[in-house]
Structure 1
Amino acid sequence: MAQPALIDVSTRWIGAFCLATVGTFVGWYGPLQILLAKQADAFDPAGKESVLAIVALVGAAVSMLANPVWGALSDRTTSRFGRRVPWIVVGSVGGVAGLLVLAAADGIGLMITGWCLVQLTLNAPLAALSAAIPDQVPEARRGTAGGYFGLAQMVGVMAGTGLAVAGGSIVGGYLACAAFVLLAPLPYVLLGRDIVITERPPWDWRAFFAGFWISPRAYPDFAWAWFTRFLMNVSNAIALLYLLFYLKDQVGVEDPESGVLILTVLDACTMLLTVVVAGIWSDRIGRRRVFVTGSGIVMALAAVLLAAWPTWTGAVVAAIVLGVGFGAYTSVDFALITQVLPRAADRGRDLGVLNIANTLPQVLAPVVAAPIVRHLGGYPMLFTVSAVVAIVGALLVYRIKSVR
């Protein structure tokens, strides 16, 4: 099956694409930043850390499996509306349903059920939107496109946190996030610009599942890209999982929910300064690895600040530093990984396999973070571990040989 030619992207497409991405991340990070922690505290104040860890772990396990499957299904979709758009619609509606279940939850069991539904379904639009960049953006502009993709993700984190707080209650926060998730993809869907394939690739269940294993020996650069992304996301996940509790219990902030919102906004504002600039700069000089290494070191510095300076001022400075590092990392890393994908026909699936490096750390983070916070040195040790992991990931990017 011939692959459609790549075409340059318009401002209109970028705007609609970014808004759809924002909607997906609102559905995730309104709960992750504020609402799940508040529910855990409401259901079990004495064991809130363990409750949040269990909910996050189970949901992340679902997410880890869902993303590559949605990507593979979108690779093979022959709808007249395109191969990616139908999954954006289905996943967004499912995400709304999951958020409504969370809003109605009256105990930990229903809370886990709702969060698993959110993780399952919102991975469909994420997989589809991720694959749309290599589908439609020329390689020389993928750093720029990755910058906008990263920018949209951070705006989604900020908007989701803001909506969770502005909702005024746990239920109100979930309803506000659900409304945004439903409406945000509409411009992209109505734009009607998606690749349509008329010949569905042959289907074989054994080959389908076998395809999720991509040999490190055959594709070493893909394997190293996966591993470096995994380490960077482990660092980020173990640092952010208990941010609300860190502000409440370690720093002593009187209103930790608003504190998380302020830090998220500061992080997003500094990210705005680097995410697109780094992507454009990377495109112009044709280099990716140096940006990933530099941004990883900056992210590690932010974690060190949280470990060594447990005050509100220290948290503010760390948020600003993290925004600088994570902004540069997000845009350039995405451009890098699109250059090591093994097969054009399987972009959605292969990006889904790479996205396991985003979701697997969410599974591991509760396992790693909970015992550290409770028994192995508390928050200073937690953030120190985060810094060390980020530096290792930043240095290992030089094992990728086919990308400069």
Structure 2
Amino acid sequence: MTAETIAEPTVPVPARWTAFISLASLGLFTAFYGPIQVLLAVQAKALAPDSKEIVLAVVSGLGAAFSAVANPLFGAISDRTTWRAGRRRPWMVIGGLGGVASLAVLAGAPNIAVMIIGWCAAQFTLNAMQAAMFAAVPDQVPHRQRGMVGGWLGVGQTLGIVVGSLLAAEAGGIAAGYLVCAGFLVITSIPFLLTRRDTVLEPTERPRLSIRDFWISPRRYPDFGWAWLTRFLLNLSNSIAIVYLLYFLQDVVGYDDPEGGVFILTAVYAVTLLSTVVTTGVWSDRASRRKVFVCWSGIVMSAAALLLGFWPTWTGALVSAAVLGLGFGVYLSVDFALMTEVLPAAGDRGKDLGVINIANSLPQVIAPVIAAPIVTYLGGYPVLYTVSAIVGVAGSVLVFRIRSVD
């Protein structure tokens, strides 16, 4: 692998590159969150109205398991890709097209089995796209810009949640919702894919890949291990809080239009998130500090979960969404920058970021397993949101175990 390929970048990326990767992030997370926020829950209710919670838990959990495999796998493959078109962009194209096809399968799913197949395929292919896209950041962006770029990726992710919820709720049905999200992914990805900033690996320099490469020893790389655990716990807290949000609005709050309610809450969350996501990323870059931002963001998110649990009204949900947005905006930009600064090897950026991203997807598998029995048998939503808050505080505190990053 050439020194030029693996060297830490020093030349700042132009604003145009940042804008285009943020736009691609918007499309990707629209394709993720249109289903996650609305469509999967509505489809589960339509196909199995008497067991919608269990069906949604199974579909979400299996899909997340596929994402946990796909992210590090395609990160590693893109690290070793020797095509003239580059290492990252080809896999963005392949993953994006696979995601479009998978969403089309979901649009026509006649039963739960096809729904499971479609969502597992969507998670596998869209995570292939995400792995390649996010690996482009440490390839191209110097350390002093990563908080800012992470902030703009957070803008794309946040607006993707809003746009996905809106398209899913207003497209005119389940099938239309999936197809509109797929079309939006294509449109928003094209500008970034047409840029020419990508690293190229010579065929003679491609390292071999084995199953052992996916194990990163926390004993040998303790900061990487603590960073992974911190991200896992904070994402688990968030996943526990949102997995049954639509049903919470429907069954506990008694909101007349739960699908529309999810969109309204998402919009409130997005507005407050956008007020912090870029500014705190820039602030973190200038202060050269990451951990204190991650810690306090996690504590604020935990407070939002407690508000949901003990103020189960529409007003309480609105306040909770606003608080969550403030905390998650800080977390999105600064945590991403922190993660890129604890990667063990420059030549394995894609694979190592993929391993870190398991901490995003694995909570989606575990959260329904935790949430379903709590909601059904162990105290309901107040207990669920208390558990979410406790997990979030634990992740916030453990970030200070990281030693190599301030």
- TM-score per shorter chain, which class? over 0.9
Counterpart selection for 1:220 from 222, 227, 247: 222
Q: CA deviation at 1:181?
A: 1.3
CA separation of 1:209/1:244 partners in 2, compared to 1, >3 Å: closer, same or farther? same
Q: CA deviation at 1:261?
A: 0.3
Do the aligned partners of 1:77 and 1:200 also contact (CA within 8 Å) in 2?
no
Q: Which residue of 2 aligns with 1:331?
A: 333
Q: CA deviation at 1:197?
A: 2.0
Task: Report the more deviating stretch, 208-217 or 318-327.
Answer: 208-217
Q: Which residue of 2 aligns with 1:309?
A: 311
Partner amino acid, structure 2, of 1:351: L
Q: How many Å separate the matches in 1 of 2:207 and 2:141?
A: 27
CA separation of 1:200/1:113 partners in 2, compared to 1, >3 Å: closer, same or farther? farther
- The answer to whether structure 1 residue 153 and structure 2 residue 157 are counterparts is yes
Do the aligned partners of 2:301 and 2:323 also contact (CA within 8 Å) in 1?
yes
Q: Which residue of 2 aligns with 1:400?
A: 402
Q: CA deviation at 1:202?
A: 4.2
Q: How many Å separate the matches in 1 of 2:376 and 2:318?
A: 24
- The answer to whether structure 1 residue 285 and structure 2 residue 284 are counterparts is no
Structure 1 residue ranges without an equivalent (≥5):
none
Partner amino acid, structure 2, of 1:340: V
- Spell out the pairing of 1:96-135 with structure 2 (5 A cutoff): 96-135=100-139
| TM-score, with structure 2 as normaliser | 0.98
Q: CA deviation at 1:198?
A: 2.1
Q: Which residue of 1 aligns with 2:347?
A: 345
Q: Which residue of 1 aligns with 2:4?
A: 3
Partner amino acid, structure 1, of 2:94: V
Do the aligned partners of 1:26 and 1:181 also contact (CA within 8 Å) in 2?
yes
Q: CA deviation at 1:204?
A: 3.6
- Spell out the pairing of 1:1-400 with structure 2 (5 A cutoff): 1=1, 2-4=3-5, 6=9, 7-199=11-203, 201-205=205-209, 208-400=210-402
Q: How many residues align?
A: 402
Q: CA deviation at 1:203?
A: 4.7
Do the aligned partners of 1:282 and 1:288 also contact (CA within 8 Å) in 2?
yes
Runs of 4+ in structure 1 deviating by more than 3 angstroms, as ranges, are 199-205
Q: How many Å separate the matches in 1 of 2:206 and 2:97?
A: 29
| TM-score, with structure 1 as normaliser | 0.98
Q: CA deviation at 1:11?
A: 1.4
Do the aligned partners of 2:81 and 2:206 also contact (CA within 8 Å) in 1?
no
Task: Report the more deviating stretch, 149-158 or 67-76.
Answer: 149-158
Q: Counterpart of 1:177 in 2: which secondary structure?
A: helix
Do the aligned partners of 1:238 and 1:382 also contact (CA within 8 Å) in 2?
yes
The CA deviation string for residues 185-222 of structure 1, in whole angstroms up to 9 with x for no partner, is: 100111222112224544545xx210110011110000
The CA deviation string for residues 103-146 of structure 1, in whole angstroms up to 9 with x for no partner, is: 00011000000001100000111101111111101011111111
Do the aligned partners of 2:230 and 2:398 also contact (CA within 8 Å) in 1?
yes
Q: How many Å separate the matches in 1 of 2:395 and 2:356?
A: 15
CA separation of 1:378/1:180 partners in 2, compared to 1, >3 Å: closer, same or farther? same
The CA deviation string for residues 83-114 of structure 1, in whole angstroms up to 9 with x for no partner, is: 10001100010000010000000110000000
Partner amino acid, structure 2, of 1:43: L
Q: How many Å separate the matches in 2 of 1:201 and 1:320?
A: 49
Do the aligned partners of 2:82 and 2:206 also contact (CA within 8 Å) in 1?
no
Structure 2 residue ranges without an equivalent (≥5):
none
Q: CA deviation at 1:9?
A: 1.1
Q: How many Å separate the matches in 2 of 1:393 and 1:23?
A: 29
